A and B are shown apart, each in its own frame.
Chain A
Amino acid sequence: NAGVMQNPRHLVRRRGQEARLRCSPMKGHSHVYWYRQLPEEGLKFMVYLQKENIIDESGMPKERFSAEFPKEGPSILRIQQVVRGDSAAYFCASSPGSEQYFGPGTRLTVT
């Protein structure tokens, strides 16, 4: 059973471009969480999704950020018009219910 997959592992974008981060949960897991980790900080919750539904987006910035978890395919975290402050590690976690298993993260660098 493969673990949580995230791609790309590293992503470089210029200011104003779009960033798309992908997360494939573990087989059988229907819950997906996205977290952001700024340098030298802990992880901060962004959004929690189940298949085709956003359950809790209380940690998502109001603008430029969106997330989806379609019926088929990976969960996508989309950041439009990136700014330098978006540079961070973005982690996805999947869960069958209670425990959360983290992917390796995507390190986004905005130049």
Chain B
Amino acid sequence: AQKITQTQPGMFVQEKEAVTLDCTYDTSDPSYGLFWYKQPSSGEMIFLIYQGSYDQQNATEGRYSLNFQKARKSANLVISASQLGDSAMYFCAMREGPGAGTASKLTFGTGTRLQVTL
């Protein structure tokens, strides 16, 4: 079974609108972390937001928020007020294992290509 599933290969959104990028995950470990990264056409991986499995509140970072629904095992990324510069690939990733301070590999989804239009 896929550990991280991103079902939207591509999404379009108009400038200034909000968009939700879906991510579901599968793990039996009670401690895990969920990450979103942005990869623009230049290729670098830019960290956007992190959610720990024990965090009580949904993570927010500026225009990015993570809609964390633990029972449904989903960690959707919400981008508010989209900008042209948001056009990129977006990857959801999971780290399995005990909480903060523990190094562990990331498992990535296949990504969603977001295109912001005028």
Contact = CB atoms under 8 A, between A and B. Distances in A.
Contacts of B100: 97-98
8 contacts: A42-B91, A42-B110, A44-B108, A50-B103, A93-B45, A98-B102, A100-B35, A100-B47
Contacts of A33: 105-106
Contact of B105 (A50, A59, A89, A91): A59
Contact of A102 (B45, B109, B110): B45
Contacts of B95: 98
Contacts of B37: 102
Which bucket holds chain B's interface residue count? Answer: 20 to 34
Interface in B24-40: 33, 35, 37
A63 to B, nearest CB: 21
A46 to B, nearest CB: 9
For the complex of A and B, the 7 pairs showing the least CB-CB separation, nearest first, are A42-B108, A102-B45, A45-B105, A31-B103, A97-B101, A43-B108, A104-B44
How would you classify the secondary structure of chain A's contact residues: helix, strand, loop or mixed? Answer: strand
A99 B108 contact: no
B62 interface: no
A37 to B, nearest CB: 9
Nearest to A104: B44
Interface of B: 4, 33, 35, 37, 43-47, 50, 91, 93, 95, 99-111
Contacts of B107: 45
Contacts of A72: none
B43 A98 contact: no
Contacts of B103: 31, 48, 50, 55, 95, 97-98
B91 A91 contact: no
